[in-house]
């Protein structure tokens, strides 16, 4: 892992593909090594730079860096990353979203707007749902007025992009009701809606999360693979999240049925992922999901839920 730090892309600050993820792992494994927090915090200089090339999305951008900071505080200790650092990262994400919204003349409808590779994605990995989800985390300490005036109306803007089927498009400009993945579609948006329900206490968010679950139950067994990013295991996590919130047994049953599908690994004609053993695309994520069946009350989508 230390060798990985030497060869990692110096411009990749993501917890999933870059420096932040390596440091997050090392911090948790070697809690006594005081050098790793310092290196992790040094990355904020680049993250906080108002650079148009720096994305805000979860997989490669500021929201992923924010996740890493919150994760370290949860696993290592609440004071490992100071509040001021977290606030600066949150501010950078919010200001970037406000600027993009103003450029697109959507300030009144969607106060926080983001794009990645010139597209305004909706899903959890690259889009609005993942960013809003991280901003609503208690550890992010976003002020209530900011949540109410910026995050909530932006969430409602995404809600109104829903297809009649209950699924969501991959981006604001895409009208194809095709993808049902954690990275694109209802399985990622459902986590945003559940968090919105917890934060704002409005039943509409819970109802629409339940609607997403129906889409996933009908269309979520994927021949694309068994992984958690764009596979059946990732879709199964949506049921576990709703089960933990509602204690409705049907969601646990559905999570178990998706696990059964995954247990027949390799028999459904699914394509082999580019990284067949990785956490997000491959077998590691599938095994992580299957292990959750032993204690569903403690289930947590890896590198996403806190």
Q: What are phi and psi of 146, to 5 degrees?
A: -70, -40
Is residue 190 classed as helix, strand or coil in its secondary structure? Answer: helix
Vertex 63: Cα angle to 229 and 242 (nearest 5):
50
Does the annotation place 212 within a ligand binding site?
A: no
The span from the CA of 104 to the CA of 81, in Å, is 34
Does the annotation place 110 within a ligand binding site?
A: no
Report the candidate in 139, 133, 22 with the shortest Cα–Cα distance to residue 77. 139
Confirm if 159 and 208 have CB atoms less than 8 A apart: yes
Report the candidate in 153, 130, 83 with the shortest Cα–Cα distance to residue 234. 130
Report the candidate in 25, 7, 9, 102 with the shortest Cα–Cα distance to residue 303. 25
Is residue 207 classed as helix, strand or coil in its secondary structure? Answer: helix
Q: What are phi and psi of 162, to 5 degrees?
A: -65, 140
Confirm if 182 and 196 have CB atoms less than 8 A apart: no
Report the candidate in 296, 280, 289, 297 with the shortest Cα–Cα distance to residue 64. 280
Q: What are phi and psi of 62, to 5 degrees?
A: -65, -35
- Kindly tell me the burial class for residue 12, based on how many C-beta atoms sit within 10 Å of its own C-beta (0-12, 13-18, 19 or more): middle
Does the annotation place 229 within a ligand binding site?
A: yes
The span from the CA of 297 to the CA of 242, in Å, is 11
Annotated binding site: 183, 229-230
User: What residues form the annotated binding site for Zn(2+)?
Assistant: 183, 229-230
């Amino acid at each position: 892992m230390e060798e990985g730090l030497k060869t990692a892309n110096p411009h990749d600050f993501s917890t999933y593909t870059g420096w932040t993820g390596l440091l997050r792992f090392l911090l948790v494994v070697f809690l006594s090594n005081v050098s790793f927090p310092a290196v992790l915090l040094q990355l904020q200089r680049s993250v906080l730079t108002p650079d148009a090339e720096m994305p805000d999305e979860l997989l490669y951008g500021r929201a992923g860096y924010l996740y890493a900071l919150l994760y370290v505080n949860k696993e290592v200790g609440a004071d490992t990353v100071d509040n001021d650092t977290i606030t600066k990262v949150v501010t950078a994400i919010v200001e970037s979203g406000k600027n993009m919204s103003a450029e697109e003349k959507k300030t009144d409808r969607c106060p926080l707007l983001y794009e990645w590779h010139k597209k305004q994605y909706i899903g959890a990995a690259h889009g609005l749902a993942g960013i809003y989800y991280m901003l609503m985390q208690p550890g992010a300490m976003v002020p209530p007025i900011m949540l109410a005036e910026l995050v909530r109306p932006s969430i409602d803007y995404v809600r109104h992009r829903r297809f009649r089927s209950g699924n969501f498009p991959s981006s604001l400009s895409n009208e194809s009701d095709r993808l049902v993945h954690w990275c694109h579609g209802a399985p990622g948006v459902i986590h945003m809606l559940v968090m919105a329900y917890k934060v704002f206490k409005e039943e509409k968010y819970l109802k629409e999360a339940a609607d997403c679950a129906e889409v996933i139950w009908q269309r979520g067994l994927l021949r694309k693979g068994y992984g958690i990013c764009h596979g059946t295991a990732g879709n199964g996590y949506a049921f576990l999240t709703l089960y933990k919130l509602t204690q409705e047994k049907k969601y646990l049953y559905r999570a178990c049925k998706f696990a059964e599908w995954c247990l027949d690994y390799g028999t459904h004609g699914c394509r082999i992922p580019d990284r067949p053993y990785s956490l997000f695309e491959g077998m590691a994520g599938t095994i992580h999901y299957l292990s959750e069946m032993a204690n569903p009350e403690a289930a947590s989508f890896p590198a996403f839920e806190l």
